[in-house]
């Protein structure tokens, strides 16, 4: 069980870093899409490409967020499980 906890902790840290970068990119593309009339004056920005990037990253974002929830739940439950297990062993 400890190996699963440590594995979850490592995976969770990596996913946090990845989701930070994805969030920054999605925030930038979201701003471009929200204020597209303002950015349409800049000729080198292709709003179709911005929309494509934003839409594809949203699926990746949701998947990574789900994995973070799973690993975070494991890190939350493990200390509770160990504490309960130790109480049972000490009472016997």
Q: Where are the domains of the chain?
A: 2-91
Angle at 28 between CA 15 and CA 54, to 5 degrees: 70
Q: What is the pLDDT of residue 90?
A: 75
User: Rounded to two decimals, what is the model's pTM?
Assistant: 0.77
- Which of these, 10, 16, 1, 7, lies nearest to 80 by C-alpha position? 1
**Residue pair 54/33 in contact by the 8 Å Cβ criterion:** yes
Please report which confidence band the pLDDT of residue 18 belongs to, taking 50, 70 and 90 as the band edges. Answer: very high
pLDDT digits (tens, 9 = 90+) for 25-56: 999 999 988 988 777 777 677 888 989 999 99
């Amino acid at each position: 069980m400890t190996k699963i906890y440590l594995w979850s902790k490592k995976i969770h840290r990596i996913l946090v870093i990845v989701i930070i970068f994805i969030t920054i990119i999605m925030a930038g593309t979201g701003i471009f899409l929200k204020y597209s009339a303002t950015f349409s004056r800049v000729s080198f920005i292709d709003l179709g490409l911005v929309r494509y990037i934003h839409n594809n990253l949203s699926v990746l974002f949701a998947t990574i967020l789900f994995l973070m929830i799973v690993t975070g739940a494991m890190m939350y439950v493990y200390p509770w499980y160990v504490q309960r297990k130790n109480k049972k062993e000490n009472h016997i």
